[in-house]
Amino acid sequence: MSFSQIGVVGLGIMGAGIVEVFSRAGYQVVGVAESAAAVEAGKSNLTKSLARAVSKGKLTQDQSDEISARVLFGENFDLLANCDLVIEAAPEILSLKVEIFSKLDAAVKPSGILATNTSSLSVTQIANATSRPAKVIGMHFFNPAPVQKFVEVISTAHSDPEVVAEVIELGNSLGKHLARISDQPGFIVNKLLLRYLNHAVQILDSGQASKEQMDAAMREHSGYPMGPCELLDLIGIDTCVEILKTIHADTKLAIDEPAVGMVELVSSGKKGRKTGSGFYDYSERLDAPTDSNEAVKSQVHNDLLIAYLGDCIAMEATGYATKADIDSGMKLGCGLPEGPFEVIEKMGIEKVRSAQAELSERTGVVAYQPLPL
Ligand code: NAD
């Protein structure tokens, strides 16, 4: 199958980024959102991102104009009729996605592939809302979509292997690294990332460390591009709460229950950068958080890192994902400088296991215990 026209539904943080990925690669793109205001916001997201690329010398003004000219924006799903692939990037709410897929099924030509950018929801349940479940898959881009190179391709029991292969080929042609996985809550990266982010807010809620201490700790001790509270603000705290609810419904573990600090911010409308504030206030440009309390930073760094490495070991042990895909996902999807198995290799597995046992004993959280050998 050759892809020429790509549709994107939902034009927020991710949808606008996915529009940019495909229009930059030369595809005709149709971007649809539910209201004129949402379409305008999507257009403005794309315009701002392209203007940044021009100002950094990554694109010429002519290239930017050509990219914009390849995109048609609108509110009507009928605009998507001739798309070969439509990627949905609407809010992380199952009932909303089910409704959108039923509308897409009616609007898009029968040969069109329908993909969801969901971070955690059941692709199978979304596929069941259509008359073409064999042509429905997950295509999970990372934020910012034009920058992060990793894409998770989620197949269900219904998925046609040819459809999956075609989408993987398309993703590779965009210069992305694709990992194929089955339909489990949070897939590879979000299952690991969201538990780490939630852990950070649980520490914050308990008063053991400030957001600046945690953010500085992960930047300075592990070289992460941003700390957990900064990253929550970038992703959108509302989206993170929804992903955690899905993961928690599956695992039933207290460590996956959305931390109170996050839920309260969402209730007060502070969803992160997209609303102007979250853990931090974005009314003016912020410097990277710093803190001089080395003892607290060292402790939270240890606790966040060890719990996360334990989760990575457990994920690989279940056979859900390979070490290579987990390492690629965390590096190319989240911009981490090293994959978790590279970190484990450097630290030595015995040191990681004894740190897991110490963390579990000190906190009383059984899930932090090392796996039996
Ligand atoms: P967002 O809130 O920034 O954007 C959501 C968009 O969907 C908005 O444009 C909104 O107007 C539109 N929308 C709402 N209702 C709609 C409807 N009925 N029909 C069409 N459009 C509708 O959210 P986001 O962060 O871009 O997340 C979108 C999806 O991508 C979610 O499933 C999320 O889990 C996933 N995702 C998010 C990130 C991230 O870092 N934010 C990363 C990867 C995947």
**CATH of the structural domain 189-368, one choice from 3.30.1550.10, 3.40.50.2000, 1.10.10.10, 1.10.1040.50:** 1.10.1040.50
Amino acid at 328: S
Rounded CA separation 254/363 (Å): 13
Question: Residue of the nearest CA to atom 30 in ligand 1?
Answer: 89
Decide if 5-182 and 189-368 have a common fold: no
Q: In this structure, which amino acid lies at residue 185?
A: P
Catalytic residues: 119, 140, 152, 190
**pLDDT tens, 62-109?**
999 999 999 999 999 999 999 999 999 999 999 999 999 999 999 999
* pLDDT value of position 19: 98
Dist. CA 144 → ligand 1 center (Å):
13
- Which positions of the chain have pLDDT values less than 50? none
Residue nearest to atom 10 of ligand 1 (CA): 10
What is the pTM for the complete model shown? 0.93
Q: Among 11, 13, 125, say which to mutate for ligand 1: greatest number of ligand atoms within 8 Å of CB.
A: 13
Report CA(92)–ligand 1 centroid distance (Å): 7
- 236 CA closest ligand 1 atom index: 41
Interval between CA 362 and ligand 1 midpoint (Å): 39
Q: What is the pLDDT of residue 286?
A: 87
In this prediction, residue 373 carries a pLDDT of 76
Tokens for 75, please give them: 């509110």
Which of 226, 237, 239, 241 to mutate to test ligand 1, by most ligand atoms within 8 A of the CB atom? 239
In a mutational test of the pocket of ligand 1, which residue from 97, 114, 117 has the highest number of ligand atoms less than 8 Å from its CB?
Answer: 117
Q: Hey, where are the domains in the chain?
A: 5-182, 189-368
Burial status of residue 159 (CB atoms within 10 A of its CB: 0-12, 13-18, 19 or more): buried
User: What is the 359 CA–ligand 1 centroid distance (Å)?
Assistant: 36
Distance of CA 15 from the midpoint of ligand 1 (Å): 7
Determine the pLDDT at residue 17: 96
Q: Quick one: pLDDT at residue 224?
A: 98
Find, among 360, 326, 324, 229, the residue nearest to 286 by Cα: 229
**Closest residue CA from atom 41 of ligand 1:** 235
The encoded tokens of residue 221 equal 């001790």
Question: Whole-angstrom Cα distance, residue 309 to residue 307?
Answer: 6
Which superfamily does 5-182 belong to? NAD(P)-binding Rossmann-like Domain (3.40.50.720)
Q: What's the pLDDT score for residue 2?
A: 86
Q: Which residues line ligand 1 (CB under 6 A)?
A: 9-15, 33-34, 38, 42, 89-92, 96, 100, 117-119, 140-143, 235-236, 239, 274
Which is nearest to 46 in space by CA: 62, 31, 28? 31
Q: Give the pLDDT score at 120.
A: 92
Q: How far is CA 192 from CA 1, 3, 304, 338, 355, in A?
A: 34, 32, 11, 15, 18
Q: How far is the CA of 24 from the centre of ligand 1 (A)?
A: 20
